[in-house]
A and B are shown apart, each in its own frame.
Chain A
Amino acid sequence: MSRLTIEASTPLCLLQDAGRFGVRHLGVTQGGAADWCSMSWANWLLGNNLDATVIEITLGGFAVVAEEECWLALAGADLGARIDGQPLAPWRSFKLGKGQTLQLTQPLLGARSYLAAPGGFDAPKVLGSSATVVREELGGLDGTGLPLAKGATLSYRGESLLLREVPSALRPDLKANAPLDLVLGAQIGQFSGQSLFDVFNTAWTLDSRADRMGIRLLGSVLHYQGQPMISEGIPLGAVQVPPDGQPIVLLNDRQTIGGYPRLGALTPLALARLAQCLPGDRVRFTPVMQERAWHDHINYLKSYL
């Protein structure tokens, strides 16, 4: 077993995996890494299962000291990672010598970075997952939904001697400003014509009101003209429009059912990109057919093979 001690942390540093499944009908949310692509790459670098337990570090403020020599991997946002003060680029596995400190300071590019360990970090499975959901008091180091705290010990039991990088052609481009793919939902036709034009032809600015439940977008006011809705299941990436006309994209910790009308849902790939955006960033949407988006997704999964 290899151990690390947490020297610095924030409420946004959380143990995550792919999330909880098979329990949504009980009102239990999904949880899990908001940028599943980067989580998968961090695990890929060490030869782990792609959904092994990782640490999601949002915006930085995290530091660990290795109690033994550790092999780790970092993927996702560039949060100014350093080993004993020396810069460490993301998208690679690396060795952290006994007594060395790995520090993630501040967002230089993107918002969320994923730290993986061989075989995944040790954490109890609660309802099938170690994903930390603070609101539901589920997951994390002791299973009760607490964020990682200073002084806590992380451990892992796997072994890996892989030192490699994610090939640059396969790395998600965090600077890309291509529009986000939106699978159109059943209420799309009940927004006004002007609203439909605005959805796909204007830019949307990320509000500071953003967390793992959802990200509010600011822009043109959208008008829903249909009947009030009865609450129904909410998929990952749903773009709902409350009465104020400003869309909210629902992320991993969303409520399981809700009654606001929806434009549709972002594809998982688009959602992973949105999860790397910061308040003030601007995004655009483009409509995509479900079948086409499915083909794109299946093709993308092949890049991990």
Chain B
Amino acid sequence: MNPMIEVVALDCLMLRLFDDIAEANMPWMLAASERLRAVFGEQLIDLVPSYTTLMVHYDLTVLSPNQARQLIAEALIDLSPNARRSGQCHVLPVWYDVSVGPELRLLAERSGLALEEVIRRHSGREYQVFALGFAPGFAFMGLVEEILAAPRLNTPRKKVAAGSVGIAERQTAAYPVVSPGGWNLIGRTPAKLFDRNRDGYSLMQPGDTVRFEAVSHAEFINLGGDDTPLEAQA
């Protein structure tokens, strides 16, 4: 780890901790995040973590850029990885089916695996939540097995159904609300990923772990899932 503090805007600094995406980054990212919240206190407006960086948006009416830089440096003193697994572990039920996950077949063809094997491998792993972004409650998770990795669609869909579960490169995610999107869709979860009435709003937070659990169509419907095929919604 080679921390760097970069200027990103008049009232924002970027703390860059790593050069590459890795699961091993997370304990350090969580530790830095906690420290930054503590040293900035009320003067922190927003902290935006991503895979390798933490963007610090501070109150410019109280702190000069230099003071903010000093606080970040202070937060890094004797930083040690947050070893305890502080995050929650979520199990997301997923109905894997080509009617709601049209790229299931494409991934099977690319990998040379049977459909059931693609499902088994995607659901057979515990993923970390690296970052939230793109849309409220949209969690970037990883890493999926190399054999399931696939580039984003050349032309993003104008409309992806809420709950759609997808893969892009070695990341996986579920769409909290209807939105445009270019990920390879493989199924749908009935879980409510973002709820303004829930404490903390987002089901998943950076540092949490997630496992997908394959459920039958009947279970999916029982859990409140909407099985409208993707094409019918477009």
Contact = CB atoms under 8 A, between A and B. Distances in A.
Contacts of B194: 26
B53 interface: yes
Interface stretch (A8-16, A57-65, A87-95, A294-302): A294-302
Interface in A151-189: 183-186
Nearest to B49: A25
Interface in B181-196: 194, 196
Q: Which of A232, A237, A298 has the most CB of B within 10 A?
A: A232
B60 interface: yes
Contacts of A24: 46-48, 57
Interface in B33-58: 45-55, 57
A283 interface: no
Contacts of B136: 23, 26-28, 136, 138
Contacts of A25: 46-49, 132, 206
A298 B61 contact: yes
Contact of B64 (A185, A230, A291): A291
Given A233-B53, A255-B133, A22 B46 contact: yes
Interface string A88-108: 000000000000000000000
B108 interface: no
B132 to A, nearest CB: 4
Interface in A194-253: 230-238
B81 to A, nearest CB: 19
Contacts of B20: 230
A293 interface: yes
A127 B199 CA distance: 11
Nearest to B201: A26
Interface size class of B (residues with CB under 8 A): 35 or more
A230 B201 contact: no
B14 A232 contact: yes
A27 B137 contact: yes
A297 B134 contact: no
Interface size class of A (residues with CB under 8 A): 35 or more
A253 B47 CA distance: 17
A268 B20 CA distance: 31
A294 B50 contact: no
Given A237-B10, A293-B10, 20 more contacts: A25-B47, A25-B132, A26-B194, A183-B9, A186-B7, A230-B20, A230-B21, A231-B131, A231-B133, A233-B48, A235-B8, A257-B131, A258-B133, A264-B7, A264-B8, A265-B8, A290-B10, A291-B64, A291-B66, A294-B10
21 contacts: A22-B45, A23-B136, A27-B138, A135-B135, A137-B177, A183-B8, A183-B9, A186-B6, A233-B48, A233-B55, A234-B55, A235-B12, A236-B9, A237-B10, A257-B48, A257-B50, A257-B131, A264-B7, A268-B10, A291-B65, A294-B10
Interface of B: 6-12, 14, 16, 20-21, 45-55, 57, 60-61, 64-66, 131-138, 140, 177, 179, 194, 196, 201-202, 205-206
Interface of A: 21-28, 126-127, 135-138, 143, 183-186, 230-238, 255-258, 262, 264-265, 267-268, 290-291, 293-294, 297-298, 301
